[in-house]
Amino acid sequence: MLTLGIEEEYLLLDPATALPVPMAEQVCAAVDLEPVVSEREIQAELLQAQVEVATPVCTDLAEASRHLLRLRHAVSSAAKRTGCRIAASGTSPRAGLTPVPVTRHPRYMAMHSEAPQLVDEQLVNGMHVHVAIPDREVGVGVLNRVRPWLPVLVAMAANSPMWHGQDTGFASWRTVVYSRWPVCGPPPHFAGLADYEERIQALFVAGAITDRGQLYWQARLSDRYPTIEVRCLDVQLRVDDAVMLAGVVRGLVATAIRDEKSGPLASHCSPELLNAANWHAARHGLDGVLVDPEGKRRDAEDVVRTLLGHIGQALEESGDTQQVHALVHRLLRRGTPADRQRRALAKEGLRAVTDLITEP
């Protein structure tokens, strides 16, 4: 069974105004984790109104769920003690007139100096899923096989319709905000590990990136861990939604590893078609149609069910079939977290949205 880990980013909001507040340092200092598994479990992010949590390496979804619940509870409690709330939303529902300060870390300060407006508007929060791979050569093959499915994941995870107090019309506005960086979106198709490394080196030579952390592809090889890191997901409202998506991502990676060893050639989806499918998924979520991995417009529910069929054997082998299927069917029935934010907005306004995204 492939091990996995989950990272989540949260906003820190003023409970009265729903505005982001630069209190990450105070919240991190107030966290009382018991037990402490790793010093990297909770840390500051790019802007001082964000914090990130990271589970340890987990062998199954139940373990991942326990750690996420433990971490969310610890950060939420610390935030309340310091006078703010954590918000599990891909974007901030409101933004103040003054930009949130950048976390005082040399890398973050350099990024702000290079692209100040982009960094000032980076009030976006994602969920990253790490899944173990045998080696980096296989990992590149996995990237090639996973990339056509990334728009479907974007649609399923959509949780960022709000921006500056208004509905953007997009289910995942976070995806659009991230698309403005030089290296972003679905990764290209690679000929192999050497091609992967050569193309990254070319980005350094061109000055497009200054470190490998600026490879904002929606899936990439991790440089810290022996994993594939899938980064296209908005942070989720609830832990069980996050665990569902982690199970789907692990199923995709396991299927890709199996196919890489003995299956058909990877589909070479053109970058322009994949980018268009990604934009469509960010715009509409699961409302209506999606562009499937073959480039065809199909009913969104049918595409999601095709995804479940594609990873069916992997889910069975990991014992995740019942849990993932039940949660995916619930998602299809009640809509994405973005849909839930919109229903709250229509019913009771921005106050209801804030209450929804700051519930524990």
Query: Mean pLDDT throughout 324-329?
Result: 98
Q: Is the pLDDT of residue 232 over 80?
A: yes
Can you give the pTM of this predicted structure?
0.96
> Bigger pLDDT: 151 or 1?
151
pLDDT attached to residue 162: 96
Distance CA 151, CA 148 (A): 7
pLDDT attached to residue 144: 96
pLDDT attached to residue 36: 62
pLDDT attached to residue 33: 79
Q: What is the pLDDT of residues 131-147, one digit of tens each?
A: 999 999 999 999 999 99
CA-based nearest residue to 222, from 118, 142, 111, 307: 142
pLDDT attached to residue 267: 78
Q: What is the pLDDT of residues 252-270, one digit of tens each?
A: 999 999 999 887 777 788 9
How many of the other CB atoms lie within 10 Å of CB of 199? 14
CA-based nearest residue to 146, from 218, 223, 194, 212: 218
**Residue extents of the structural domains in the chain:** 4-103+124-346
Q: Is the pLDDT of residue 60 over 80?
A: yes
Q: Is the pLDDT of residue 127 over 90?
A: yes
Task: List the Cα angle 25/26/29 in 5-degree steps.
Answer: 85
35-44, 226-235, 333-342: least confidently modelled range:
35-44
CATH topology of domain 4-103+124-346: Creatine Kinase; Chain A, domain 2 (3.30.590)
Q: Is the pLDDT of residue 318 over 90?
A: yes
Query: Mean pLDDT throughout 318-327?
Result: 98
pLDDT attached to residue 216: 97
pLDDT attached to residue 1: 82
CB 54 within 8 A of CB 240: no
Give the confidence band of 166 by pLDDT, cuts at 50, 70, 90. very high
Alpha carbon dihedral 211, 182, 166, 172, in 10-degree steps, equals: -80
Give the confidence band of 360 by pLDDT, cuts at 50, 70, 90. low
pLDDT attached to residue 38: 64
SS (H, E, C) 64-104: HHHHHHHHHHHHHHHHHHCCCEEECCCECCCCCCCCCCECC
Task: List the Cα angle 251/240/47 in 5-degree steps.
Answer: 95
Distance CA 100, CA 31 (A): 22
Give the confidence band of 40 by pLDDT, cuts at 50, 70, 90. confident
Looking at every residue in the chain, the average pLDDT score rounds to: 95
